[in-house]
């Protein structure tokens, strides 16, 4: 994007901006004073119709005597990220009242950096539970050693929101669950059978990944990327690797681009088939669920034959891929996805011909467009409520701009609409895989990584099955990781579940929960 195009887009607020610059061809950095933050942010979010992609805080006190906060807005109409950059000391003005999507980001910054968002509507701890952490601990400050051991004792108490009224009672679920599931606490307030409020508490699984990354070489982080969220190991690794390749101005071979897309779509296909099965399971159609889980197993076995890993770990590397295809493997892929498609079509017909199944899904767990927009939800969660979200089309990478696929949207916003999005995605993935194999060029699958620019930062991104993944990577003067901020789609989407269940009954919560398929591990970094 040219400077003149940027000026045209920002014309209504140009006098409020100190200056702006191009960090890369699609990253526009806007500098302004804190006083104008709300006005410019509101213009980007509401007038330009941008979405909140991520918010990144960095501890720059040693070099600049302050912290830096970067608000990243995705402007998909022009393939641009607008990044508002402000310098702050110990506090800043909260934007959560005008842009609800920023609520959790500001609470996270308050916890991890000790920078207070003034006038925030709900400044309870988000990640650092008061039961376990003293108030003066902020792990992402540079003067907090990663191996710090805190005294094991109860420091405080978490205050839950209380719904008062005659006949109101609470049902507490978790954080430890009966099945093989990660920890999360759900607190339902009800009057009769209908849910009046759901309050969620997560981050029981927080692993301090971003802190562990500080001071490491870029290649060392490849030991972390495929463990951020197990079922999205390829997508997270792809987002990170593309950031490093951008910082080093490395252009990968054409064949490597095609192969990356192939493996990315195999992961999406596997996850969507799995979700299809779990929704069958939660409406007690076990026969359909088992058949879908068998198809997932077919895809995972295909992955194992292609790459040696059921989750395709180790396929990606800086500069390309480590795995190539021969004629035998290509035939194996086509035969497997054809088998998956035939069986999938059979159970799709069963789904839409079963009144008892559709009755459980239709109108259940409805999320309105306005809620989705306010929270900058992503992926099928957004598309099921009428908000388009697919970074493969909004900010094209690899060869996605050359491929034909729909990425459908629906308006209803209920469990059935979210399932329809998945079914569309299954068909898209199979179509993309076949397009890739039909046009797969000859040539190298890997090139050498150029020297990574020091004292630089950028964004890396990829569309996972749940929605877009954003990685912010900042390199220091020694070429090591200074800041790594990971935004899994679940961080934006978890807040939507509190609205999805309102008015529904507790018995439908498992269906609503599965329809969103939110990741605990991807969220609890």
Round the CA-based radius of gyration of the chain to a whole number and report it: 23
More confident residue, 70 or 205: 70
Has 409 been labeled as part of a binding site?
Answer: no
Q: What's residue 152's pLDDT? A: 80
Taking the CA atoms of 74, 26, 225 and 308 in sequence, report the sign of the dihedral they define: positive
Angle in degrees, 0-180, between the axes of helices 254-282 and 509-516, rounded to the nearest 10: 180
Is 0.75 topped by the overall pTM? yes
Q: What is the mean pLDDT of residues 260-288?
A: 96
Has 210 been labeled as part of a binding site?
Answer: yes
Which residues is 72 bridged to in the sheet? 54, 83
Strands 456-463 and 51-60 come out as unpaired
In the numeric block, which tokens belong to residue 435?
Answer: 């397009």
Q: What's residue 68's pLDDT? A: 97
Q: What angle do CA 271, 266, 213 make, to 5 degrees?
A: 75
SS3 of residue 451 by DSSP: coil
pLDDT at 8 over 80: yes
CATH numeric code, 3-118: 3.30.460.80
Is 209-516 in the same CATH topology as 3-118? Answer: no
Which residues is 485 bridged to in the sheet? 472
Tens digits of residue pLDDT in 356-383? 999 999 999 999 999 999 999 999 999 9
Q: What is the mean pLDDT of residues 273-277?
A: 96
pLDDT confidence tier of residue 34, bands split at 50, 70 and 90: confident
pLDDT at 227 over 80: yes
Per DSSP, which regions of 427-522 are E strands?
A: 456-463, 468-475, 481-487
Tens digits of residue pLDDT in 434-487? 999 999 999 999 999 999 999 999 999 999 999 999 999 999 999 999 999 999
pLDDT confidence tier of residue 178, bands split at 50, 70 and 90: confident
Q: What is the DSSP letter of 323?
A: -
Residue 358: in which H helix or E strand, if any?
A: helix 355-361
pLDDT at 180 over 80: no
Domain ranges of the chain: 3-118, 168-201, 209-516
**Could you tell me the fold of the domain covering 209-516?**
Cytochrome-c3 Hydrogenase; chain B (1.10.645)
The mean predicted confidence, pLDDT, of the chain is 96
pLDDT confidence tier of residue 205, bands split at 50, 70 and 90: confident
Are 285 and 357 contacting, i.e. CB atoms less than 8 angstroms apart?
A: yes
Q: How far is CA 286 from CA 26, 344, 497, in A?
A: 47, 15, 25
Which residues is 28 bridged to in the sheet? 22, 82
Q: How far is CA 295 from CA 269, 338, 518, in A?
A: 10, 11, 22
pLDDT confidence tier of residue 1, bands split at 50, 70 and 90: confident
Q: What's residue 179's pLDDT? A: 75
pLDDT at 153 over 90: no
């Amino acid at each position: 994007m040219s400077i003149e195009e940027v000026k045209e887009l920002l014309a209504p607020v140009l006098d409020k901006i100190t200056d702006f610059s191009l960090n890369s061809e699609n990253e526009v950095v806007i500098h302004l004073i804190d006083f104008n933050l709300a006005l410019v942010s509101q213009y980007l979010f509401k007038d330009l119709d941008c979405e909140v992609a991520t918010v990144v805080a960095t501890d720059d006190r040693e070099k600049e005597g302050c912290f830096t906060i970067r608000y990243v807005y995705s402007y998909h109409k022009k393939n641009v990220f607008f990044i508002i950059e402000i310098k702050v000391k110990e506090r800043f003005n909260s934007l959560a009242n005008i842009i609800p999507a920023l609520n959790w980001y500001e609470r996270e910054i308050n916890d991890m950096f000790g920078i207070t968002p003034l006038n925030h509507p709900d400044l309870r701890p988000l990640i650092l539970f008061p039961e376990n952490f003293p108030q003066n601990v902020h792990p992402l400050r540079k003067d907090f050693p990663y191996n710090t051991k805190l005294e094991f004792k109860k420091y405080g108490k978490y205050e839950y929101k209380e719904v008062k009224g005659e006949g109101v009672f609470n049902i507490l679920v978790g954080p430890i669950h009966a099945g093989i599931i990660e920890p999360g606490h759900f607190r339902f307030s009800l009057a009769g059978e209908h849910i009046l409020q759901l309050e969620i508490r997560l981050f029981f699984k927080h692993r301090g990944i971003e802190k562990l990354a500080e001071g490491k070489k870029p290649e060392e982080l490849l030991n972390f990327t495929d463990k951020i969220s197990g079922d999205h190991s390829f997508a997270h690794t792809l987002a990170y690797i593309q950031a490093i390749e951008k910082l080093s101005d490395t252009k990968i071979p054409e064949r490597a681009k095609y192969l990356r897309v192939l493996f990315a779509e195999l992961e999406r296909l596997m996850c969507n088939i799995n979700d299809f099965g779990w929704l069958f399971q939660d409406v007690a159609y076990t026969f359909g669920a088992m058949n879908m889980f068998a198809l997932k197993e077919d895809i995972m076995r295909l992955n194992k034959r292609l790459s040696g890993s059921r989750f395709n770990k180790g396929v990606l590397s800086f500069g390309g891929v480590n795995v190539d295809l021969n004629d035998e493997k290509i035939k194996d892929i086509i035969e497997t996805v054809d088998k998956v498609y035939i069986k999938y079509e059979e159970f799709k017909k069963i789904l839409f011909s079963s009144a008892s199944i559709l009755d459980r899904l239709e109108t259940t767990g409805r999320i309105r467009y306005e809620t989705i927009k306010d929270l900058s939800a992503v992926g099928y969660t957004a598309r099921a409520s009428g908000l388009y979200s697919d970074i493969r089309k909004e900010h094209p990478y690899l060869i996605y701009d050359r491929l034909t696929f729909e990425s459908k949207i629906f308006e209803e916003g209920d469990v059935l609409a979210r399932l329809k999005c998945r079914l569309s995605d299954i068909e898209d993935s199979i179509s993309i895989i076949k397009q890739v194999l039909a046009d797969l060029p000859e040539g190298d699958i890997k090139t050498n990584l150029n020297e990574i620019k020091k004292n630089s930062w950028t964004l890396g991104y990829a569309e996972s099955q749940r929605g877009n993944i954003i990685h912010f990577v900042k390199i220091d003067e020694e070429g090591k990781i200074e800041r790594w901020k990971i935004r899994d789609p679940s961080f934006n989407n978890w807040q939507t579940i509190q609205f999805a269940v309102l008015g529904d009954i507790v018995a439908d919560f498992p269906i609503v929960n599965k329809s969103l398929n939110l990741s605990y591990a991807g969220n609890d970094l």
